[in-house]
Amino acid sequence: MEGQRAFVKAVGRGLNEQSVALHRAEARIAAALPSDVPAPRLLACHDDGEWIVLAFQDVEGRHPSTPWRQGEVSAVFAALADLARVTTAYRLPVPTAVQQCGPDLGGWRHIASDRPPTLDPWVAAHLPMLQAAADRALAGLEGQTLVHTDLRADNLLLRADGTVAVVDWPHACRGPAWLDRVLLCVNLLLHGGIDIDPIVTRLSLDTAAPERLLIDTLVGYTGFFLDAARQPPPPGLPTIRAFQQAQADVLLSWVRRRLTSR
């Protein structure tokens, strides 16, 4: 690596055990990514059992603007469509989307069993419908495409030549080709300025996935964020619950509108 620029990140067990596990997963997945996946190459990994350090190829680029701009949304969605076409034939040693996303899509079930006193009245009145949507979403996650499942503006880099790099792959799994694009809609909602309704409709047409399944997936992740936000913060990550609550709030507003307008 002498003379090379690199992006380096590290975490120790004393900071957060789960982050150490995620770094190990990322090292394993990054090392296995084929060269035509637009992701930085893993240059080196140090893991002494206490600390893990990852060094990646430095990518010259910037994160998409937030609030998102329509042109950048279009460029990223086109890049993700190309990525899905490239990776559908790959068989990397990663979990299935059902395995990876199954716990997330159990959020409404947890909320229904606990019935927290601060539960939104509309949610309380519609819990069976919300839980049923999450169950349908989980059943619809079959697929063989390599998907990232944690796409946000800060996990994407726009290069000067117009190409897109996708970073931070610890949650990668095999699932439907549309999954990354529908989950990115959460970030579009969070930062505002973009109407995701026509995006969801277009994605359904482009991938031949039922639009209801895409909506069900966003309904399911609304439950995930609401359930996660009410948990105690994990060690070393004091702001994550507020971030999850912010995503829950914008998603719930969208879900309420979509489900009550049918």
Beta bridge partners of 51: 12
Whole-number percent of the chain with pLDDT over 90: 88
Please spell the DSSP secondary structure of 96-120, one letter per residue: BHHHHHTTGGGHHHHHHHH--TT--
User: Which residues belong to CATH 3.90.1200.10 in the chain?
Assistant: 70-260
How many CB atoms sit inside 10 A of residue 5's CB?
Answer: 9
**pLDDT score at 2:** 64
Q: Hey, what are 81's tokens?
A: 């469509």
Confidence of residue 52 (pLDDT cuts 50, 70, 90): very high
| Closest C-alpha to 42, from 88, 9, 18 | 9
CATH of the domain spanning 70-260: 3.90.1200.10
State the Cα–Cα distance between residues 121 and 138, nearest whole angstrom. Answer: 25
pLDDT tens digit sequence for 96-145: 999 999 999 999 999 999 988 889 999 999 999 999 999 999 999 999 99
**210 Cβ partners below 8 Å, 6+ apart?**
140, 204
Contact (CB, 8 A) for 43 and 33: no
How many CB atoms sit inside 10 A of residue 245's CB?
Answer: 14
State the Cα–Cα distance between residues 63 and 43, nearest whole angstrom. Answer: 22
What does pTM read for this prediction? 0.95
Phi, psi of 25 (to 5 degrees): -65, -40
